């Protein structure tokens, strides 16, 4: 069956499940998401785009932005980044702060909030030249997605900042171990804004395809990262991309992926394509319930699993 | 380059590193291992065997045995096993007991000691018929490796039992949450003996190839597990197979694998082959130092990474 | 008002509360306790005894036995005991195992289970001469209480052993840090039996009065411990005697005390008397609900608080 | 021997130890403290003052301020304060953040930093009328010490704020559990300033004597708190006043007390007097090394122990 049919079939197959799960409620802009929305999109390493469902509906990247900032920071800092952040799965969320303490302010990996703050701090210090840090990040995502109109949703960014006490705790805690170079407030501001960049599901799949294609954007032909680095970012997504459900996602879907609390998930089929899904209802681990189901169907129907 | 040359090249390339790392010292039989020994072996999904180095040197499986008991228990119990053990990476070893407490006696995954005790308990309850549990496990490994002479190294088993206070603590703790059906002493006895089964590197690669071949042993043609289950065992190995260095192994090697404290590592290249290495010097995370290096070379030189 | 009237008044005042709280249910012998039973008893430093309520009802010491074994072990080992066990409050029970790990097998204090196992281990190694360890402990308590008929309740001891997986976990864990000299099973056996020694409330108050009287038993005139050591045992009881409600007991009652899960509490008024209460219903922290209330009334009515 | 002689004797006896321990180095104003300085002072419940050593040397209260803010907050809020903060010892510092998480943002007690932030938040919300929160706190301490010239050391306050990332982490973390009513920055500002109030050892003993005298200031005759509340504050000091050395202080000194990182300790002999010591060298638990020794001598020589 061709890819378009597969995506359409999945869209139809998940319909009965739409509305299950719980939309994130900690800020109004997320709480008002329509739980019936669903989109799935793919871009192959040939640059072909396939979409099904509400593929033009815009949502904030949230934690998916961590994959892009990791790419940027690795390009800027290189392997030295690993002195400041680990690459091991983090275990239960309960342990996040105690692990930071036990490991002297070195976050477990760049895809949990603590690690993402360190990555953003590295970008604040090292990237951009004349561009501000958030412009650098935004520019990178616009390039990846091929759309210069992509922007920060300022309302979401403001809400994130107003309710982000836990991230502020984390930032200050890391700073107390001298593992942030810049002001906590500066890093948090960039972080909250990177999380609030709004994309469509189509753009999301398009923007991730460099990781399926050995580090080269197949549309523009631009080399984004070295092939080995792309593989390694995929490895980190597989082991750490879904918080404390990373093992479950690997078990059920078998693809590197990264989820965001707004309901998006981006996944990579190495050598073949990037796939993105959107559905705002979350499962009890904070990942898109129907999105995970859709990717499980995708992997099962297409035989695309890294295992 | 053909596979035999690759293995020979790796054997030569790691020679300068032999002796680095620290041989496990907690029992005499491990402490006396020759730190200069090295072996690498592979079996392809066509059933071809390749070996290089001390491929006939015998060592105890230790934690690698957990992959075999997981396979057995999943075949016996099915998905119900996941009610008793999770499939998420475990985070730092420091947290192992506190996580057991926080998660009410449900170990994080079947490849850490706590989880392996639950898996062995399931085998004690459900497998074997007229065979004792350790005979069942041993029989399974003999079949996988194609050698009926494979046996428990009784001296190692005795030493493990005499020094295994931490495992005894774990077993009693899990029992206090009613997540062991059998006597703690019975489960520990089987567990210590499964860890003490001695194999060669050649046998180890041979015994793992069913996981590279969709669950079918390519030599005997026997279906060992369903294809989907084989993929899922691979997923668990990738996310949980190297204790608190699982993320690092995924990052550097990019293959599902499982290490043992005696210095062995078995890795799976889905669709292609199983590879095993042996070198008793361990890195600071308790995994074979030269073994990991050899697999990293193998992945880099052959391009075999799941990412 | 004289002491007898005070005790009688308290007995009457707590009557409406009898039956509140939950009787310990983990073994049948405790579960069958009559929740309406109540006793209060005191022995002054002049050796006078006062009792009210069911003062002849027998119950097992449980954790209160830890005060006696601590006294014995300090007399046998001296300050060296503090190399093997701390004297700091333990924080929440959730942390007990993680703290043991963080602190390398040194329990926080001798009045939590982990610490009591180390204390009992010291007694097994150092006390008794021709007497067995449990005979030594039993002999000490008989001497303190002035009743040679006091005995281990063997049914309770057996039940404790059969369900004591958590204590077995603790013992093995401490052993893995080499902080138990004897077999785990031996230490556990003595421990479960010391907890099962059955006393009356009258005997309990009598047996504790040496701690109110500068270390001298006022009835026999025997010096049990040095005056300074008696003070220090009182200090440990005040900071650590009620598990994770030690601060609350200090706040509400203001006296050194030790509770047991069977419903007894022994308290010390330095320079004046020992007071014991019994009521099997426990509050949510595992201490006698009505017993704590009775001691709070006692402290308020008599002005006896160390603060 | 009279009290003046006792204090002088202690001053002489500790002389050989002056310079031991480590002066706090996290801010310049503390790091520059003279490690040879020593003072001891007492005020009896008759209002008599005794001093020895450098009793007029000024140092910042640091954590000792928590006793005063606790008194103020209890007077303002009453027992409702205990809905927002516990009164149990905190266990090892390692656990502070994980306990906050496990206990949903309710700090263990008001004498650890987390709890003190909640107490200060209550003062910000409820105290003062026309006075600012820091003026309220300062006014209370001036009244207790009988010196209107007592002031915040603004240089220390500034340094505390500049390096207080860990406290900022704590404040934000508590806020994320909705257990701070005011802005984190506002609470931190008051907190850092209350810690920076500078007193002499003589003033410190004077300001604490209400806790020895049933809640009444013996000099002014003013009732500061109810007698029962004074006893309870003493109980909290005894169980929680020295961080993770509270048990050790109870064991060695046997008096309610509160230490500060600048080297001061205030202790209470209920019904008799308040005693304060100052010596900036700290032991490995962060309490004044010579100060603790001096109080241990004081308790031993005068027989003043609550046990």
Mean pLDDT by 10 residues, chain B (307 residues): 93 97 92 96 98 96 98 96 94 70 90 96 87 96 97 96 94 96 97 98 98 97 96 96 92 97 98 98 95 97 94
Q: Which pLDDT score is estimated for A268?
A: 98
Closest partner CB to D88 (pick from C98, C246, C305) = C246
Q: Mean pLDDT over residues C41-47, rounded?
A: 98
Q: Mean pLDDT over residues C73-87, rounded?
A: 96
Task: Report the mean per-residue pLDDT for chain C.
Answer: 95
C127: pLDDT confidence band, cut at 50, 70 and 90? confident
C contacts of B94 (beta carbons < 8 Å)? 98, 101-102
Strand intervals (E) in A138-279: 151-152, 197-200, 257-259, 264-269, 273-278
Task: Examine the residue annotation and report whether B191 is marked as an active-site residue of this protein.
Answer: yes
Does residue D128 surpass a pLDDT of 70? no
Does residue A1 surpass a pLDDT of 80? no
Q: Is A97 on the interface with D (CB under 8 A)?
A: yes
Q: Is B79 on the interface with A (CB under 8 A)?
A: no
Q: Which tens digits make up the pLDDT trace of B128-173?
A: 678 999 999 999 999 999 999 999 999 999 999 999 999 999 999 9
Q: Residue D251 and residue C244: Cβ atoms within 8 Å?
A: no
Q: Is A11 on the interface with D (CB under 8 A)?
A: no
Q: Residue B91 and residue A109: Cβ atoms within 8 Å?
A: no
Q: Residue C97 and residue B98: Cβ atoms within 8 Å?
A: yes
User: What is the rounded CA–CA span in Å between residue C131 and residue A77?
Assistant: 70
Q: Which pLDDT score is estimated for A68?
A: 98
Q: Which tens digits make up the pLDDT trace of C221-247?
A: 999 999 999 999 999 999 999 988 999
Q: Residue C247 and residue D109: Cβ atoms within 8 Å?
A: yes
What is the tally of helices (H) and strands (E) in chain C?
Answer: 13, 10
Does residue A193 surpass a pLDDT of 70? yes
Tokens 């342990």 found at: A95
Does residue C95 surpass a pLDDT of 60? no
Nearest CA in chain A to D101: A94
Closest partner CB to D175 (pick from A98, A165, A184) = A165
**Segment 177-196 of chain C within 8 Å of chain B by CB:** 184
Q: Mean pLDDT over residues A84-108, rounded?
A: 82
User: CA of D120: how far to CAs of D101, D135, D141, in Å?
Assistant: 20, 13, 15
Does residue C174 surpass a pLDDT of 70? yes
Q: Residue A173 and residue D184: Cβ atoms within 8 Å?
A: no
Does residue C29 surpass a pLDDT of 90? no
Nearest CA in chain C to B163: C176
Please state the pTM of the whole predicted model. 0.93
B contacts of C98 (beta carbons < 8 Å)? 94-95, 97-98, 101
- Which of C82, C240, C247 has the highest number of chain D CBs within 10 A, making it the mutation to test binding with D? C247
Task: Examine the residue annotation and report whether D243 is marked as an active-site residue of this protein.
Answer: yes
Q: Residue A245 and residue B88: Cβ atoms within 8 Å?
A: yes
Q: Residue C166 and residue B184: Cβ atoms within 8 Å?
A: no
Provide the 3-class DSSP secondary structure of residue B87.
Answer: coil
User: CA of B283: how far to CAs of B244, B263, B289, B290, in Å?
Assistant: 12, 10, 5, 9
Q: Is C169 on the interface with B (CB under 8 A)?
A: yes
CB A195 within 8 A of CB A160: yes
CB D118 within 8 A of CB D84: yes
Provide the 3-class DSSP secondary structure of residue C210.
Answer: helix
Provide the 3-class DSSP secondary structure of residue C129.
Answer: coil
The DSSP element (H or E) to which B50 belongs, if any, is strand B49-53
B contacts of A256 (beta carbons < 8 Å)? 307
Task: Examine the residue annotation and report whether C67 is marked as an active-site residue of this protein.
Answer: no
Closest partner CB to C250 (pick from D98, D235, D248) = D235
Nearest CA in chain D to A169: D169
Q: Which pLDDT score is estimated for A94?
A: 55
Q: Residue A91 and residue B92: Cβ atoms within 8 Å?
A: yes
Of these residues, D63, D159, D205, D279, which one is catalytic? D63
The answer for residues whose C-beta is within 8 angstroms of residue D65's C-beta and 6 or more apart is D116, D137, D141, D194, D195, D197, D260
Q: Residue D251 and residue C238: Cβ atoms within 8 Å?
A: no
Q: Which pLDDT score is estimated for D243?
A: 86
Q: Is B166 on the interface with C (CB under 8 A)?
A: yes
Q: Which tens digits make up the pLDDT trace of A113-157?
A: 999 999 999 999 987 678 999 999 999 999 999 999 999 999 999
Q: Residue B166 and residue C173: Cβ atoms within 8 Å?
A: yes
Other beta carbons within 10 Å of D89: 30
Tokens of A181: 């170079």
Q: Mean pLDDT over residues C158-182, rounded?
A: 95
Q: Which tens digits make up the pLDDT trace of D156-201?
A: 999 999 999 999 999 999 999 999 999 999 999 999 999 999 999 9
Closest partner CB to D102 (pick from C86, C92, C102) = C92
Q: Which pLDDT score is estimated for A128?
A: 64
Q: Which pLDDT score is estimated for D91?
A: 73
Higher pLDDT, D249 or D126: D249
Task: Examine the residue annotation and report whether D261 is marked as an active-site residue of this protein.
Answer: yes
D103: pLDDT confidence band, cut at 50, 70 and 90? confident
Burial class (CB in 10 A: 0-12, 13-18, 19+), A128: middle
Task: Examine the residue annotation and report whether C262 is marked as an active-site residue of this protein.
Answer: no
Q: Is D227 on the interface with A (CB under 8 A)?
A: no
C129: pLDDT confidence band, cut at 50, 70 and 90? confident
Nearest CA in chain D to A163: D176
Q: Which tens digits make up the pLDDT trace of D21-80?
A: 999 998 988 999 999 999 999 999 999 999 999 989 999 999 999 999 999 999 999 999
Q: Which pLDDT score is estimated for B295?
A: 98
């Amino acid at each position: 069956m061709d890819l378009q049919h597969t995506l359409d079939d999945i869209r139809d197959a998940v319909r009965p499940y739409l509305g299950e799960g719980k939309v994130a409620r900690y800020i109004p802009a997320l709480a008002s998401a329509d739980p019936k929305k669903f989109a799935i999109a793919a871009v192959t390493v040939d640059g072909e785009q396939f979409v099904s469902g509400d593929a033009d509906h815009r949502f904030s990247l949230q934690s998916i932005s961590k994959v892009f900032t990791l790419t940027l920071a690795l390009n800027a800092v290189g392997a030295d980044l690993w002195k400041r952040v680990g690459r091991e799965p983090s275990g239960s969320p309960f342990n996040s702060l105690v692990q930071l303490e036990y490991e002297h302010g070195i976050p477990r990996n760049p895809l949990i909030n603590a690690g993402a703050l360190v990555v953003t701090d590295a970008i604040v210090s090292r990237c951009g030249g004349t561009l501000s840090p958030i412009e650098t990040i935004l520019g990178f995502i616009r390039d990846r997605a091929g759309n210069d109109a992509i922007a920060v949703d300022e309302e979401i960014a403001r809400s994130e900042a107003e309710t982000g006490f836990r991230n502020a705790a984390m930032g200050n805690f890391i700073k107390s171990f001298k593992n942030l170079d810049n002001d906590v407030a500066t890093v948090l501001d960039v972080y909250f804004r990177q999380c609030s960049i709004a994309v469509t599901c189509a753009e999301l799949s398009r923007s991730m395809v460099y990781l399926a294609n050995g580090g080269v954007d197949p549309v523009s032909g631009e080399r984004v990262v070295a092939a080995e680095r792309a593989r390694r970012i995929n490895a980190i997504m597989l082991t750490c991309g879904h918080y404390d459900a990373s093992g479950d996602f690997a078990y059920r879907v078998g693809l590197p992926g990264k989820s965001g609390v707004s309901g998006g998930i981006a996944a990579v089929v190495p050598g073949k394509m990037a796939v993105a899904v959107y559905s705002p209802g979350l499962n009890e681990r904070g990942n898109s319930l129907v999105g995970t189901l859709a990717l499980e169907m995708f992997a099962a129907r297409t035989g695309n699993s890294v295992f």
